Structure 1
Amino acid sequence: MVNASLTAGSAAVGLVVGAAASWITRTLLRRPAHLAQSWWLGAVITATLLALLGWRIGFHGELLVYAYVLTLGVPLAVIDWVEHRLPRIVVLPQLAGAALGLGLLCVTRFDLASGLRALGAALAAAGFYLLLAVLVEGGVGSGDVSLAAVVGLVTGWSGWPELAGSLVLASLGALLLLLLPHHGSRRKAVPFGPCLLAAMTTVLTISG
């Protein structure tokens, strides 16, 4: 009963904060995209994601941190899907907020090991995408590197296998998008943001 109530409550909160966060999408998108800019799209996606996490994670401090990350992650994913860019004005507060939230959990739980692992995972994920940015000219941007740090921080809090799983799933998703035809040709630019965030959510949902 408690888990069902938390799932429903998380979904309700997701509807509200997702609708509010759609303002970010409307403000930062440079070209008209009516569906992407609609308030209900962000609300429904955010509500679904928070409901999944509420169901799997339960009433723990991590849920608040993950909810914050995903609430900002939905507008980022939409913007990246439409325009292939991840505005740092959103990614950097997302990274700072996640670090602050997990840092508070470290202090309140006297759990330094998880915090150090999360920090190491963030550096590892960012380093991996920075390497991709160097090797694949024009394919990976600074926003992707920053978002990879967010994903590394969040999944690294749970463990190194979660980080590895997220990076593998994100890579598979990017490869699938690359192979899909796009307007009669092959898609040349791959939005890594949606792939990273979807992979992170999948891993967190599975691992609980």
Structure 2
Amino acid sequence: MNAWPAIVGAAMGFGLGAAGSLITKRFSGRRAGIASSWWLGAIVTALVLAILAWRIGHRGEFPVYAFVVALGVPLSIIDWLEHRLPRIVVVPQLVGGALGLGLLCVARADPSPGFRALWALLAAAGFYLLLAVLVEGGVGSGDVGLAAVVGLMTGWSGWAELAGAVVLASLAGLALLLIPGNRASRVVPFGPCLLTGMTAILAVAA
């Protein structure tokens, strides 16, 4: 199998991850320590994008996924440390992903995946909004916004992919909730769970 897409993806991820560490530092401050180091963000993003590029190849979805994942890595770290997902990062992530998929619809003259992605966006955001109402303090507005991103990205591939991402994220969140400290405070960083579920599904479904 051709390894060049993975090599290009890793190189792109290294640069984007190093730049993304600036976002981590901006919203985590001194608490971040190693978590906000440029090399950690670079390595993690390079690894994830190498896997996605290897699976997706030269298809047009890769730049869109790369943009979303590159912002997802610092968001995951920020949520893990600070238990918040800054809208100033989530909103551009959502808008950029939607614009990228919209351009693919135009280029391919096929709007059906785009419409499905929009419905999936609403479904995922609505589900997490319901959780935010029912589970006091468990799910925040940032989680709802990020769920919209996950719905958009996975819904582009299909409804089964969206369901798979939500199930994986829920299982990861449940596992984190079982950690003694999290169980006592009932605070779980859903951001990393959502983004891990999304990335895993995108890689498998490619």
Deviation track 1:143-183 (CA, whole Å, cap 9, x = no partner) reads: 10000000000000000000000000000000000002239
SS of the aligned residue for 1:68 comes to helix
**How much does 1:188 deviate?**
2.2
Q: Which residue of 2 aligns with 1:122?
A: 121
2-structure distance, mates of 1:116, 1:20: 32
Q: Does 1:203 align with 2:201?
A: yes
Q: RMSD of aligned C-alpha atoms?
A: 1.2
- Equivalent residues, number: 206
TM-score (norm 1): 0.96
Q: Which residue of 1 aligns with 2:92?
A: 93
User: Is this contact kept in 2: 1:179–1:187, CA < 8 A?
Assistant: no
Give percent identity, aligned residues only: 65
Q: Which residue of 1 aligns with 2:181?
A: 182
Q: Which residue of 1 aligns with 2:61?
A: 62
**How much does 1:31 deviate?**
4.8
Unaligned runs of 5+ in 2: none
Amino acid at match of 2:121: A
Unaligned runs of 5+ in 1: none
Deviation track 1:7-31 (CA, whole Å, cap 9, x = no partner) reads: 0111011111100111000011145
**How much does 1:186 deviate?**
4.0
Q: Which residue of 2 aligns with 1:52?
A: 51
User: Which ranges of 4 or more aligned residues in structure 1 deviate by more than 6 Å?
Assistant: none
User: Is this contact kept in 2: 1:86–1:144, CA < 8 A?
Assistant: yes
User: Is this contact kept in 2: 1:179–1:186, CA < 8 A?
Assistant: no
